[in-house]
Amino acid sequence: MDMKATKKKLGMKERYRALTRDLGWEPSYQDKDAIFPYASYEGIKVHDWDKWEDPFRLTMDAYWKYQAEKERKFYAIIDAHAQNNGHLNITDARYLSALKIFLQAISPGEYAAHKGFARAGREFPGVGTQVACQMQAIDELRHAQTQIHAMSNYNRYYDGFHAFADARDRIWYTSVARSFFDDAMSAGPFEFMIAIGFSFEYVLTNLLFVPFMSGAAYNGDMATVTFGFSAQSDEARHMTLGLECIKFMLEQDPDNLPIVQAWIDKWFWRGFRVLGLVSTMMDYMLPKRVMSWREAWDIYGVENGGALFKDLARYGIRPPKGWDDAEKAIDHMSHQFMLGLYQWSFGTSFHSWIPSDEDMDWLSAKYPDTFDKYYRPRWAHIRKLKAAGTPFKNYGLARLCQCCQLPSVFTEPDDPTLTCHRETVYKGEKYQFCSDGCMDIFNNEPEKYIQSWLPMPALFSELGGDVGAWMNWVSLRDGVDNGDYDGSTDQQHFNEWRGLATSNL
């Protein structure tokens, strides 16, 4: 092999050290605290910033080279998808509801992560940290752009994709993801890293990007698999940054432990609630399913999260406070979410539906302890109502949790027949919560969460309760973008076009 001659003069470790050393000068005419004013107010004590190294030791030249390669791969497939009727190759247009939720709620989260890491890259004093955060800021921008670009092809043919930016800012269910990122971005840089890099990325995004994207492949959606795996290839680096951040804080000073643990408790629960929507995407919205939400949780939550917290036990870290409640919710949440989405489908810019007999048999096989007992009877009742011409619609507005902003559709951890509801009074005002986890978060920082913009109260304070005006405001076309999939234009178009594509009529 002739590669010996072109071998770089410095090894990977030396190259990385040279990069970080040369960027890390000591300021001479400005005070360090004035340059990095946000580094200390959260109470995290750091004695030696040089101890933070990126274990991948990625230098800028390598970063640009491999990111460019990822983009070339991505666009080759996106072009092929657009050129080969990719919009007809999906298993069923029901599947698109999952993509619509992704585009309206998750892609804007990528953009928010971009902004957050750009800021963190400026606010951390350590050079290794600055470089890794700045790379991640560029990655997250790439994720937002490639996702919007990949899904724009579906927008030419299907409803509900056209106004994702309005949906992001205004529609009720997207405020769940938006409030998560706003909460993280309005925290200090260390808490931001725990929120996004550790809890969201290390502990939870595997559930979103790995089994769900594998599911996209199974459903013939090459566009989504491609952006999903392309984004996830950066995610390995992001997760590692999150884990390094945790270890760094814990190794720097023992006083950091209680602060870090409290952030892990908070952000695990916040992330678990946001990603709960993925449970429904996996169990109900993929026409062909790779694995159930429960199976995915066993691999990426129980096994992987368990391994992580066992490894961190040497620093005194214990699993997050909400860990047991999360486990108790796993066999229920996808059903509770889907029942919620179906009853409020007049207000969603995607379709929901009643699962077919075949779908329900799959669900009872995957959820032997819960589906037939608690959820099949409800779907059977809803189906009967639909057949009678009186479909089940809930035109009342959902009671939202002041913390996670989800409607309180979940049940008590130990009683799946009782809706979970918590309430607290702060400065004479009443606040509602979906769970103990969310109420605890509020009680720790009430002054932050009383400022939350909640979509249901806003409907009254900003639009006088006029649902039609609200639909215009969020760019939701009644009877087109919303409601039951059965009878929708998406369903009609998919069937017609698929027929045209496979015959010569």
Partner 1 sequence: MSTVFIALQANEDTRPIIDAIALDNPAAVINRQPAMVKIDAPDHLVIRRETIEDQLGRAYDLQELQINLITLSGNVDEDDDTLTLTWNS
Residues that bind Fe ion (CB under 5 A): 110, 140, 143, 238
- Closest contact distance (angstroms) between CB of 113 and Fe ion is 6
| Partner whose binding site includes residue 238, from partner 1, Fe ion, Zn ion, none (CB under 5 to 8 Å by kind) | Fe ion
Distance CA(113)–CA(196), nearest Å, equals: 8
C-alpha angle 297-285-78 in degrees, rounded to nearest 5? 100
434 interacts with Zn ion by CB under 5 A? yes
What are the CB-based long-range contacts (under 8 Å, 24+) for 119-125?
A: 119/185, 119/189, 119/192, 120/189, 120/192, 120/193, 123/36, 123/38, 123/39, 123/189, 124/36, 124/39, 124/189, 125/32, 125/35, 125/36, 125/39, 125/46, 125/49
Neighbours of 58 (CB within 10 A): 18
Residue among 106, 222, 354, 401 that touches Zn ion (CB under 5 A)? 401
Among residue numbers 366 through 395, which ones bind partner 1 (CB under 8 A)? none
Helix (H) / strand (E) containing 22: helix 12-23
Strand 415-419, strand 429-433: pairing: unpaired
How many chain residues interact with Zn ion (CB under 5 A)? 5
438 interacts with Zn ion by CB under 5 A? yes
290 interacts with partner 1 by CB under 8 A? yes
404 interacts with Zn ion by CB under 5 A? yes
77 interacts with partner 1 by CB under 8 A? no
385 residue type, one letter: L
Distance CA(286)–CA(280), nearest Å, equals: 9
- Closest contact distance (angstroms) between CB of 237 and Fe ion is 8
Sequence length of the chain is: 505
- Closest contact distance (angstroms) between CB of 31 and partner 1 is 35
Q: Specify the residue, 39 or 312, whose C-beta has the smaller distance to partner 1.
A: 312
| Partner whose binding site includes residue 266, from Zn ion, Fe ion, partner 1, none (CB under 5 to 8 Å by kind) | none
Residue among 255, 311, 423, 496 that touches partner 1 (CB under 8 A)? 311
Tokens of 215: 């599911």
Stretch that binds partner 1, among 107-115, 160-168, 179-187, 228-236 (CB under 8 A): 228-236
Residue among 27, 37, 43, 55 that touches partner 1 (CB under 8 A)? 55
- Closest contact distance (angstroms) between CB of 10 and partner 1 is 10
Among residue numbers 176 through 215, which ones bind partner 1 (CB under 8 A)? 206, 209-210, 213-215
158 residue type, one letter: Y
| Partner whose binding site includes residue 225, from Fe ion, partner 1, Zn ion, none (CB under 5 to 8 Å by kind) | partner 1
What burial class does residue 120 get, using C-beta atoms within 10 Å of its C-beta: 0-12 exposed, 13-18 middle, 19+ buried? Answer: buried
Closest CA to 126 of 61, 191, 53, 62: 53
**Residue 60 Cα distances to 64, 152, 309, angstroms:** 6, 31, 32
Q: Which residues bind partner 1 (CB under 8 A)?
A: 1, 3, 11-13, 55-58, 62, 66, 69-70, 73, 206, 209-210, 213-215, 217-218, 225, 229, 232-233, 235-237, 239-240, 243, 247, 290, 303-304, 306-308, 310-311
